[in-house]
Amino acid sequence: MQFTRLGRTGLKVSRLCLGTMNFGPQASEPDSFAIMDRALEHGINFFDTANVYGWKKGEGVTEQIIGRWLAQGGGRREKIVLATKVYGSMGEGPNDGRLSARHIREACEGSLRRLKTDHLDLYQMHHVDRDTPWDEIWQAMELLVAQGKVVYVGSSNFAGWHIAQASESAKSRHFLGLVCEQSLYNLIDRTVELEVAPACEAYGLGLIPWSPLKVGVLGGALEKAKEGRRTGELAQKTIAKHRDKIERYEAFAKKLGVPPANLALAWLLAQKVVTAPIIGPRTMAQLDDSLGALDIKIDAEVSSALDEIFPGPGGTAPEAYAW
């Protein structure tokens, strides 16, 4: 396994991050345990979850599964960098979601209880809360850090200017602030290259791409369809919209002699600001196969060919659209 620093921090995380959103809804608890154990065997030490995963309001199903896995001992907790998120609604009350100081505090306690741990290595805001002032948010996060319940703070689904605003506010309080941003980023979805990625680079945040395979579309979806495998509704809509590009992409991956999924992951790993794409395996085989991405080198020729298939926004803002 390869490791890198999380943003500007000294913390070392694996170049692939284990996403756990499928634990519970699509992977049984025994299978989830086995996947997490195998991830450790592969050297993956970066585990990502969220309090809303499991999609049963207030229950934190996925966090509970991870907590029971950690409770088995064997050094599991000490071996991983554990990340979860706050923002989503965890109840029916008006203060059971978003980023008020009250909810941040209550949500953190709930995640710690479900995960059966005394601290979170990374606590991420799952979305920006435009109605809560940054002084309130940072005061709550500073308290959690002072109490030893949170080590680092990150964001998810922030715009570039949100990252700048949050970072400048934290700086004025002499607080470390954001160390990473988790964004939708893959060969098809490259909007973050305009302002989010540059903001991350400027403020020393690691970029953690979610949906790196675009709901499986970049994992050889057309070839799998020929074999009779079915895809979800969202994947089908994406294929219908980008079929020509996806056909060209799969042909290019075949020409290189690499699995399409690994090529998509390798491309992300080659982006300077990217820390670790989030892989969300439903099976052991999917986890094992993803490791091959670490051995693929994206040279200038391959990068140029991929840009021709999936052009992206044309660079960073404002040059991408201003002239």
pLDDT tens, residue order, the chain (323 aa): 999 999 999 999 999 999 999 999 999 999 999 999 999 999 999 999 999 999 999 999 999 999 999 999 999 999 999 999 999 999 999 999 999 999 999 999 999 999 999 999 999 999 999 999 999 999 999 999 999 999 999 999 999 999 999 999 999 999 999 999 999 999 999 999 999 999 999 999 999 999 999 999 999 988 888 877 777 888 889 989 999 999 999 999 999 999 999 999 999 999 999 999 999 999 999 999 999 999 999 999 999 999 999 999 999 999 999 97
Output the pLDDT for position 224: 84
Residues 6+ apart with CB under 8 A from 268: 185, 186, 209, 212, 274, 277
- Tell me the sheet residues that pair with 213: none
Taking every pair of Cα atoms in the chain, the longest distance, rounded to a whole number of angstroms, is 58
CATH of the domain at 84: 3.20.20.100
Output the pLDDT for position 228: 72
In 3D, which of 213, 180, 191 has the Cα closest to residue 8?
180
Look at the chain and count its residues: 323
Residue 293 lies in a domain: yes
Residue 14 lies in a domain: yes
- The helix (run of H) or strand (run of E) holding residue 156 is strand 150-156
Residue 207 lies in a domain: yes
The token pair at 84 is: 């979860």
Residue 63 lies in a domain: yes
Output the pLDDT for position 232: 80
Output the pLDDT for position 227: 77
Total number of domains constituting the chain? 1
Residue 72 lies in a domain: yes
Output the pLDDT for position 15: 98
Question: Which domain range does residue 142 map to?
Answer: 3-216+259-299
Residue 304 lies in a domain: no
Residue 225 lies in a domain: no
Give every strand in the sheet of 278-279, ordered side by side: 206-210, 178-184, 150-156, 120-125, 81-86, 46-48, 17-19, 278-279
The token pair at 239 is: 């294929």
Does the pTM of the predicted model rise above 0.85? Answer: yes
Q: Is 185 an annotated catalytic residue?
A: no
Residue 184 lies in a domain: yes
The token pair at 298 is: 């994206």
